[in-house]
Amino acid sequence: MMKLSEYNKKRDFKKTAEPKGKVKKSGEVLHFVVQKHEASHLHFDWRLEIDGVLVSWAVPKGPSADPSVKRLAMQVEDHPMDYIDFEGTIPKGQYGGGTVMVWDTGNYMAEGADTVSQSKKLIQKMHDEGNIKIIMQGKKLKGSYHLVRMSGKKEEWLLMKGKDDFANKKNFDQHSVLTGRTLKEIEEDKSSDTWESNKKGAKANSGDKSHILTENNEAELSFTAEDLADAKRRKTFPKEWKPQLATLTDEAFDDSDWIFENKYDGYRALIQINGGKVNLVSRNGLSFNKKYKSLVDSFLVIKDDIMLDGEIVVEDSKGKSHFQWLQDYEESPGRGKLKYYVFDILYFNGYDLTALSLLQRKHILKAILPESTTILYSDHIIGKGRQALNKIAKRGGEGIIAKKLDSSYHVNKRSKDWLKIKVTKEQEMVIGGYTEPKGTRNRFGSLLIGYYDNGKLIYSGKVGTGFNEASLEKLHSSLMNIETTTCHFAEKPKIPNVHWVKPELVAQVKFTEWTAGGSMRHPVFVALRTDKKAKEVLREKPLKNTKNTEQHNDVSKKDFKSDKVDITNPDKIFWPKEGYTKGDVIAYYDVMADYVLKYIKDRPQSLRRNPDGIKNQGFFQKDMSGKTPKWVKTRKLTSSSDGESVAYLICNDKETLLYMANLGCIEINPWSSRIGSINNPDYIIFDLDPNKASLQDLITTAKKVKEILDKLNIKGYLKTSGGKGLHIFIPVKPNYTYRLTREFSRLISETVYKALPDITSLERMPKKRIGKVYLDFLQNGKGKTMACAYSLRPREGATCSAPLQWSELDHDFDIKNYNIKTMPQRIREKGDLWNDFFNDAIDLKAVLDKLKK
């Protein structure tokens, strides 16, 4: 590899905004960037993070997804890591002068490597040998790519796509993955990283304007004749056209080939402006001109012949739309602001634009729209569908529309190039009856559902989707067992041929919103809840910014906010004796998140949910497939017992931690291995269960474990279990199997037992080891979980699994002293006692070899 000194030598950093060349230590992942570069000639710069720098190649024709295509790649000087998000203009006269776009970026791994550390070593070896094979995880570049040095050449390489599921012959999108801009837009933007159209107050385009289209040869437009090169000429105005419709889908996704827009809660309408006359037309061809006359008048400022596609809405002062206000606008025009959001243009001054790509059409649209508080351009983001849906959900919106960015406009057709994705909510519901099946449906048609309010069962609608044959059969059998002739709803629904049932079964239902009449909109059956009593099912009313009113401790006095989680029932009592609430649990994890997350990041979670607090055992939930908001990360893993695929929740940020707490997860139970090295745990667990043994015997046993570990020069990390026992954790390098970690734990446990046979036991049956400390080495197994450091426990006193200093195991030691009330103050005084945990990882095989000698 070349040195950064060559990079620095070629640049005058007083004149160019490029970052100075400094080597940086590699992080937890390996990055790459591909930049499109308009310099003396157009080319692509392919850059891979190797040993703290971006090793770089110039690829004249750019990457291809076709395995049969080989591209020349010329190795150039290494670039600094800070270059990875450089996008802008390098001044003329400077080295590489021209425009730079971040065409794609992401992470990569060396082929054959299971871990990042292995990948770092392997990629250096591959580079030295001139044969680089990597797996790309970018927005555009995905799967296998190869770089091979040409025989006898030093700087000349060949770049090619490997044969895999991502191989195809499609052309890549040519917009920036950071800002969505073209090279030209980046070049013309002299002020910021975000391009703005040539509206009032925006900069006019510079350079040669001879090809700019004009409006009656007077007002300049900020798009050129080239933008209309693929548009068709049309002699007549297309009054007969109707809007393109979207296809419903049930899940948001991230894809750089798609854009994502707000799904407006209003009336879809086309604006037809022809010969100075404006016509506002519904999706079914009906005129809205009379009903929304003020909106029609707003479009008179446009003098071109155009056809626009958009949505009519009425918004309140906070920008939230209200469909009911829109319907009643003629009678009550003062209730909100009437607006038209424009998201497409179909026709412009004799040109049929429907064959142009979506981004071309939106570029033209943005350029011609007037400055207005009534006529608004519908903005979008590229690639980040989950983020878009989350933003809409936070604002209380209906959903998003996903559109393929290179798609044409399909007049009067429903297309899969446009997808509608709705925001959904979930709620427990009591089943009060069911209807007869219709058509091809077996067993039953719909469930009649409701919730309790002041002891009365309130009907909230029917749910008839979300079932498969197995769930239909099982649920129907349960329903027949509780059939009755009595309707238990407070007001009997006026539905014929209903089979009434006793209100005993509780269903989990997802839906989009509550209607004004108290019914669920678009309900979908998820599952039966066996842990919930029907009488406890109330209508949940989310609170976004929860402030605990009961001040039991320092935590509950804190006002906490969550941008993504709708906190529900924060005042629900979880510990009846102490009076601690669900809100106290959420506030605790809000305060302690930075400490908890270190020990659960990238680890599958087995959710132990206690939605009713500690009064019952709650239930464990592993498979979260289709049950989480789209922003919550999950990972499918195959169960070793039955071979079924389970979507485990992965908690890598505070919002997800608060989401878990809001589900009633008092306790946090991660695996002892991480995604990326899932078969290789990175700590060993010693679970010391007293089983009615004395506290002194428990302390004696823990100190004996420490004594043995000290002789092996191994640091054991101590914590309370949060119950009655103690945990000792040993960090290990994630290079070995669960079998080996269990073998090590067994050997140490057997040594402890031989030293303390009167107070310890290896017997698995509890009744055979009463009064002795159980040395449970079997906790070291794939998929087995243990409460993490700083996790609360659903036990009396709201105790916590608290990291300890060994010196704290003295005559004053009391596990109950470490709880929801004391831990935040303790962490402020002592800091994280496990802060160096992963830095002390041992080489397990070397230790085992030493033990067996």
Least confident of 320-324, 557-561, 708-712, 753-757: 557-561
- Beta-carbon count within 10 A of 832 CB: 15
CA distance 827 to 817: 14
- Cα 732 to Cα 780: distance, rounded to the nearest angstrom: 12
CA distance 480 to 474: 10
Assign 652 to helix, strand or coil.
coil
Report d(CA 780, CA 681) in Å as an integer. Answer: 9
Coil, helix or strand for 184? helix
Supply the pLDDT for residue 3: 56
273, 238 in Cβ contact below 8 A? no
* CA dihedral sign, ordered 187, 190, 195, 197: negative
CA dihedral 584, 586, 592, 593 (to 10 degrees): 180
Q: Is 272 in contact with 242 (CB distance < 8 Å)?
A: no
Give the DSSP letter of residue 268: E
Mean pLDDT of 628-648: 78
d(C-alpha 260, C-alpha 770), whole Å: 61
710 falls in which pLDDT band (50, 70, 90)? very high
Distance of alpha carbon 255 from the chain centroid = 13
Nearest CA to 720 out of 800, 778, 779, 797 is that of: 800
DSSP state letter for 793: -
CA-CA distance, 797 to 184, in Å (whole number)?
A: 64
At 779-812, the pLDDT tens digits run 888 888 999 999 999 999 999 999 999 999 988 8
The CA angle 540-542-548, to the nearest 5 degrees, is 110
Query: How far apart (Å, rounded) are the C-alpha atoms in residues 129 and 123?
Result: 10
- CA–CA gap between residue 790 and residue 818 (Å, rounded): 10
The predicted model gives 91-119 an average pLDDT of 84
How many other C-beta atoms can be found within 10 angstroms of the C-beta atom of residue 96?
16
- Look at residue 555 in the predicted model and tell me its pLDDT: 42
Domains and CATH numbers, the chain: 4-161 (no CATH), 232-421 (3.30.470.30), 425-536 (2.40.50.140), 683-784+796-852 (3.90.920.10)
What token pair was written down for 756?
């303390």
Residue 243, pLDDT above cutoff 90? yes
H/E run at residue 260: strand 254-262
Per-residue pLDDT band for 12 (boundaries 50, 70, 90) equals low
Among residues 31, 54, 52, 28, the alpha carbon closest in space to that of 115 is found at: 28
| Nearest in space to 524 (alpha carbons), one of 540, 536, 512 | 512
399 three-class SS: strand
> What pLDDT does residue 19 have?
58
pLDDT at position 207? 29
H runs (alpha helix) in 230-305: 293-298
Handedness of CA 209, 214, 216, 218 (dihedral sign): negative
Cα–Cα distance measured from residue 144 to residue 310, given in angstroms and rounded to the nearest whole number:
41
**Cross-strand bridge partners of residue 475:** none
d(C-alpha 470, C-alpha 467), whole Å: 8
pLDDT per position as a tens digit, 516-538: 677 888 888 887 876 678 998 88
> 11 or 361, which is more confident?
361
| Residues above pLDDT 70, as percent of the chain | 87
pLDDT at 157 over 80: yes
The verdict on pTM exceeding 0.75 is no
Amino acid 195: pLDDT: 25
Question: What is the per-residue pLDDT across 536-555, written as a single tens digit (0 to 9) for each?
Answer: 888 876 533 333 333 333 34
Active-site amino acid positions = 263
Predicted confidence at residue 396, as pLDDT, reads: 74
- 519-523, 583-587, 614-618, 639-643 — most confident range: 583-587
Phi, psi dihedral angles at 610 (to 5 degrees): -125, 70
* Higher-scoring residue by pLDDT: 282, 3: 282
Residue 567 has pLDDT above 50, yes or no: yes
DSSP 25-67: ---SSEEEEEEEEESSSEEEEEEEEETTEEEEEEETT---S-T
Helix (H) or strand (E) holding 707: helix 695-711
Q: Rounded to the nearest 5°, which phi and psi values hold at 366?
A: -65, -30
Encode pLDDT of 655-701 as tens digits: 999 999 999 999 999 999 999 899 999 999 999 999 889 999 999 99
Helix (H, G, I), strand (E, B) or coil at 307: strand
Which whole-number Å values give the CA distances from 59 to 19, 103, 238, in the listed order? 22, 13, 45
| Spatial separation of the C-alpha atoms in residues 64 and 528, rounded to whole Å | 49
- Look at residue 512 in the predicted model and tell me its pLDDT: 75
Cβ distance 336 to 314 under 8 Å? Answer: yes
- Please report which confidence band the pLDDT of residue 151 belongs to, taking 50, 70 and 90 as the band edges: confident
- 136 has a pLDDT exceeding 50: yes
Q: How far apart are CA 250 and CA 634, in angstroms?
A: 16
- The enclosing H or E element of 595 equals helix 582-597
Question: In angstroms, rounded to a whole number, what is the distance separating the alpha carbons of residues 759 and 747?
Answer: 18
How would you label 630-668 residue by residue, b for 16+ Cβ within 10 Å and e otherwise?
Answer: bbbbbeebeeeeeeeebbbbbbebbbbbbbbbbbbbbbb
Give the integer Cα–Cα distance in Å for 448 and 523: 11
Task: State the pLDDT at residue 560.
Answer: 52
- Name the average pLDDT for the chain: 84
What is the sign, positive or negative, of the torsion defined by CA atoms of 110, 112, 116, 121?
negative
Please count the CA atoms within 13 angstroms of the CA of 573 that sit on its side-chain side: 7
pLDDT at 430 over 70: yes
Where residue 141 falls (left for φ over 0; alpha for ψ -120 to 50; beta otherwise) is beta
C-alpha to C-alpha distance for 519 and 580, rounded to whole angstroms: 33
Beta pairing partners, 272: 279, 307
pLDDT band at residue 27, thresholds of 50, 70 and 90?
A: low
Tens-place pLDDT, residues 817-838: 999 999 998 998 888 999 999 9
Q: Is the pLDDT score of 28 beyond 70?
A: no
